[in-house]
A and B are shown apart, each in its own frame.
Chain A
Amino acid sequence: MVAEISHPLSKYLREAMMPHIWCSGCGNGIILNCFVQAVDELQIDLKKLVVVSGIGCIGRAAGYINTDSFHTTHGRPIAFATGVKLANPDLEVVVISGDGDLFAIGGNHFIHAARRNIGIKVICANNFNYGMTGGQQGPTTLLEAFTTTTPYGNIEHPFNLVHLAAASGATYVARWTTLHVRRLTQSIKKMLQKEGFNFIEVVSPCPEIFGRRNRMRTGLQMMEWFKKASIIEHFSDPAKADITPERIVVGEFVDIEKPCYEKLLYDKMAQILT
């Protein structure tokens, strides 16, 4: 008899949803793995964890994690999560979504949630394009990069997400690539233990759609780019952390304390009621 072997983290995943939809070489699985690893190491009560995603390849993450989860419309996971967090501040509310979802169509919700400093933890899989719809240009596509809608090279300046998050008021801001598995996991753990609006950008390979148009056909080639270009610089100026083909500054950028929205709100309510 062969004993049934199951993955030590399988209780965190909805096996009924497998196989997942992601391409081989995609970074989304690494991000998902780091997240459940962090949840496991912190022994977070799964009954108190809510994972929310928008629409996109990475947007399927919510469905794969075995907690209360919601797959919203494109761009709206943070706004949805705002309702969840305020309705029950005891819940740990995590948004896992894409660069297009969070910063193009959903950009307004991101900056305002950061401004309010509401206790939502946001993980963005930045793969420099719209994977789900077949590889169009997006708000983080690098200058001169090729996508299905920038066949002559991109002329739009990309967002520097960590700068945007810091300027908008996030109390924890970090950037890693999918190469930095241990550091990313540590960062997620840190963020899950902090109050307020916290943000991690994960630079992630999309070899299938983005890579192959930009001379990186495989996940490995994309990871080699990350390896070559990334430099760890903790608490460097996020304004100077623009991603270029030559340089990906990674590390923690912001780690500050500031009263969070739900606490201010509930304190105010308590004052009014006494």
Chain B
Amino acid sequence: MKTENNRTVLTGTHFMNGDIACAEGALAAGCKFFAGYPITPATEIAEHLSKRMPEVGGIYIQMEDEIGSIAAVIGASYTGLKAMTATSGPGFSLMQENIGLAVMTEAPCVIVDIMRGGPSTGQPTLPGQQDIMQAKWGSHGDYEIIALAPSSVQEMFDLTIEAFNLSETYRVPTMVLADEVVGHMWEKVVIPPAEKIRIVNRKKPNTSPEKYLPYMPDDDLVPPMACFGEGFSFHATGLTHDEHGYPKTSSSGVQQKLVKRLCEKIRKNADKIVKVREFMVDDAEVIVVAYGIVARAALSAVKEARKTGIKAGLLRPITIWPFPEKLIAKIAEQAKKIVVPEMNCGQLVREVERNVQGTSVVFLSKLGEDPHTPMEILEAIRRNC
């Protein structure tokens, strides 16, 4: 049953929803393994990949829960495949311990969280941005991850590819943090020809198996990665380990060296990782910082405000983690007020506050219903100009 659709990259112009665009982005990035467990509003990613993975020679498996899903993803990643799972809040919570395992063993993998309202089972079908801090801090211990926040269906496609590229570059779990609206809305998506898509694959060792030290980093602080079955016979563990991958659990030196490197490989490369979009910020006095679907409403609000002579601007973090600290600090120097609308009780706004000195930050919470309207954000701009 070889059809037109048996292609890995569906080059062309499509009308699809965000979840499906995310799934197609994964395939275009070279993802060959998906393990997941059904959950609203992320289920369509799994459903779509259950059909598409076999068409492109990839593996789809529905696991018994999300703990198993992320564990299988790490296993597949260590066996050389680009691997992904997708979930929403409750499943994301279950994955946290093994996200730490992926951090500690430097397993490239992508975790998609289509955020709904929480805590607990919360509001399965409504959008939220309540997992922002969990994405950064959900697992125990000190670590850094990368998280991207798409705000359109096109970005669900593009940023899923980017998430794979970043996770392969830095050997770090990379998250796509989308809200339910972005996951479920239908929009035009343009998928470029395969050869126009930038694909990054993990560095492989160029030493012999005898000389290979699985956790010895290069100058970029990232170690080249051998995979199971390639003849390197190496060990990996979630315990604190030395360059050989051998447990060294009572050495402060080894712990410091390892954990600091795991953090620094992201922190020191933050300038290369961080991406934001700016709209009319150059002379702006009131700057809205918004991400995900909320940024779309914020853009309309900023345009409306400009029509009435208010010097408003928008800064949209595409990279949520690492947080665009320097860029926020820079806009804070010029802005009189920063407005942060979020679908939560105040999460990314804390990062904004932490990075601005003196500039006052206004938080605009929306919870349990549709995202902020442009009007609501416009009013906040007016009140604060």
User: Contact between A68 and B68 (Cβ–Cβ < 8 Å)?
Assistant: no
User: Contact between A83 and B246 (Cβ–Cβ < 8 Å)?
Assistant: no
Q: What is the bound-complex CA distance between A72 and B237, given in angstroms? A: 6
Residue B81 at the chain A interface, CB threshold 8 Å: yes
User: Contact between A79 and B68 (Cβ–Cβ < 8 Å)?
Assistant: yes
Residue A73 at the chain B interface, CB threshold 8 Å: yes
Known: A71-B238, A83-B76. A76 touches B98 (CB 8 A): yes
* Pick from B72, B229, B244, B247: contact of A86, CB under 8 Å: B72
Q: What is the bound-complex CA distance between A16 and B243, given in angstroms? A: 13
User: Contact between B237 and A272 (Cβ–Cβ < 8 Å)?
Assistant: no
User: Contact between B246 and A87 (Cβ–Cβ < 8 Å)?
Assistant: no
User: Contact between B55 and A73 (Cβ–Cβ < 8 Å)?
Assistant: no
Q: How far is the CB of A51 from chain B (nearest CB, A)?
A: 9
Known: A86-B72, A272-B1. A69 touches B65 (CB 8 A): no
Interface-side segment among A59-67, A142-150, A206-214: A59-67
Residue B119 at the chain A interface, CB threshold 8 Å: no
Give the number of residues in B that approach A within 8 Å (Cβ atoms).
49
User: Contact between A90 and B229 (Cβ–Cβ < 8 Å)?
Assistant: yes
A residues in contact with B77, CB < 8 Å: 83
Known: A83-B35, A87-B33. A272 touches B236 (CB 8 A): no
Interface-side segment among A42-50, A96-104, A233-241: A42-50
Q: How far is the CB of A199 from chain B (nearest CB, A)?
A: 17
* Pick from B54, B228, B235: contact of A84, CB under 8 Å: B228
B232-259 interface mask toward A, CB cutoff 8 Å, 1 = contact, 0 = none? 1111111100001011000000000000
User: Contact between B79 and A69 (Cβ–Cβ < 8 Å)?
Assistant: no
A residues in contact with B74, CB < 8 Å: 72, 80, 83
Q: What is the bound-complex CA distance between A16 and B244, given in angstroms? A: 10
A residues in contact with B321, CB < 8 Å: none
Residue B115 at the chain A interface, CB threshold 8 Å: no
A residues in contact with B6, CB < 8 Å: 273
B residues in contact with A86, CB < 8 Å: 33, 59, 61, 72, 76
Instruction: List 17 extra interface pairs beyond A68-B235, A72-B71, CB under 8 A.
Output: A47-B229, A63-B237, A70-B75, A71-B237, A73-B101, A76-B67, A76-B68, A80-B74, A82-B71, A82-B75, A83-B71, A83-B79, A83-B83, A87-B79, A87-B83, A265-B59, A269-B57
